[in-house]
Amino acid sequence: MSSGYKSWILLTGFILFYVAYLLLGALVFSTIERPVEDKLKSDIQVLKEEFLNQSCVNATSLENFLEKVLQANKYGISILPNSSASSNWDLASSLFFANTLVTTVGYGHTTPLSDTGKAFSIFYALLGVPFTMLVLTACVQRLMHPVTYGPIDMCRQRIGLDPLAATAVHFAILLLLVVLGFFVVPAVVFSHIEDTWSFLDAIYFCFITLCTIGLGDYVPGEKPGQKFRSLYKISVMVYLFLGLMMMYLVLRAFHRMADLHGLTSFFQLPHCDEDTEEDKEPIIEVGHEDQHEAEASAKPLDPASQTSYNTINR
């Protein structure tokens, strides 16, 4: 089996296993947290009724009541009647939580309520975070040829730019496309779907999310009575995954450009790592030897280009 096929099968396997891992996590979180949430919800309703039945409301009783309300709210349990219909731990929401955990975004609008949930979060993220990094790296690895090496070569061969200029022009175009496709367009969509979000709020959400900061002051699909809530949550998860992939790709393209321009040497930082054979696989199948020649001719100025041959051919 050729190395290219093996690499694609491996990647498909990774992605399928990743989806299965998220589903499994969602099931476990939902099973652990749903009963605790139901208990807290009914407790808070009882509390509300008791408060309303009081003959007189003074500052102390109000403060005691509010303290409990705010405590429950911290765990994502709202006392408001229109919020109590939807659960934070149904399958779609648990899947969303599992996804924000392993991508390290961690909005924190829902957090595990029970000690079991907390312990499972640690265990789940311990495997899930490196696994997500692995899947993202593997995807980016496959995208480097069509998105980075290919267009740079085209710039050089068709327009006749020198390698440094070609890399810089390519990076500028890539950055512009990512900003448009993963910030501006999604922000327009989010500000239309979410009634209370302005365009700035939506851009702020996209940025805070794709940098994995995840403050959680804006979380999509949380308004009461959200239409197609599950589908919406899953779409946001896909956006998150693709967005992170593109951020990683931009970072790698930037690292490579900085390397070519001597910035990494200046800051004495690790050089951009050479990619494995599959990365630079030509679209038209060539013989193994020809392929290496093609690679060698394609990147004559890359200072570390000999690296990959030492590594690959060992």
Does position 51 interact with a copy of itself (CB under 8 A)? The reply is yes
Does position 195 interact with a copy of itself (CB under 8 A)? The reply is no
Give the total of residues touching a copy of itself (CB under 8 A): 76
Contacts of residue 192, Cβ cutoff 8 Å, sequence gap at least 6: none
CA pair distance 150, 68, nearest whole angstrom? 59
The amino acid at 256 = R
Binding pattern for the stretch 165-194 against a copy of itself, x by CB under 8 A and - elsewhere: ------------------------------
Q: Which stretch binds a copy of itself (CB under 8 A): 30-38, 99-107, 225-233, 280-288?
A: 99-107
Q: Which of residues 216-235 bind a copy of itself (CB under 8 A)?
A: 216-217
Encoded tokens for 193: 């779907």
- Binding a copy of itself (rule: CB under 8 A), the pick from 271, 291, 292, 294 is 271
Does position 10 interact with a copy of itself (CB under 8 A)? The reply is yes
- Binding a copy of itself (rule: CB under 8 A), the pick from 1, 195, 225, 268 is 268
CA pair distance 73, 53, nearest whole angstrom? 22
In the complex with a copy of itself, which residue's Cβ is closer, 155 or 182?
182
Q: Which of residues 272-301 bind a copy of itself (CB under 8 A)?
A: 272-276, 278
Q: Residue 167: name the closest of 80, 255, 243, 244 by CA.
A: 255
Encoded tokens for 27: 């099931």
Does position 104 interact with a copy of itself (CB under 8 A)? The reply is yes
Does position 314 interact with a copy of itself (CB under 8 A)? The reply is yes
Q: In whole angstroms, how close is the CB of 4 to a copy of itself at the nearest point?
A: 10
Q: In whole angstroms, how close is the CB of 160 to a copy of itself at the nearest point?
A: 25
In the complex with a copy of itself, which residue's Cβ is closer, 157 or 198?
198
Contact, 110 vs 76, CB < 8 A? yes
- Binding a copy of itself (rule: CB under 8 A), the pick from 58, 158, 288, 300 is 58
Q: What DSSP state is assigned to residue 145?
A: I
Taking 3-state DSSP, the helix, strand and coil percentages for the chain, each rounded to the nearest 5, stand at: 70, 0, 30
**Measured in whole angstroms, how far is the alpha carbon of residue 54 from the centre of its chain?**
48
CA pair distance 229, 221, nearest whole angstrom? 6
Does position 67 interact with a copy of itself (CB under 8 A)? The reply is yes
Sign of CA dihedral 272, 243, 91, 215: positive
Q: Which of residues 29-48 bind a copy of itself (CB under 8 A)?
A: 48
Encoded tokens for 204: 């702020």
In the complex with a copy of itself, which residue's Cβ is closer, 235 or 264?
264
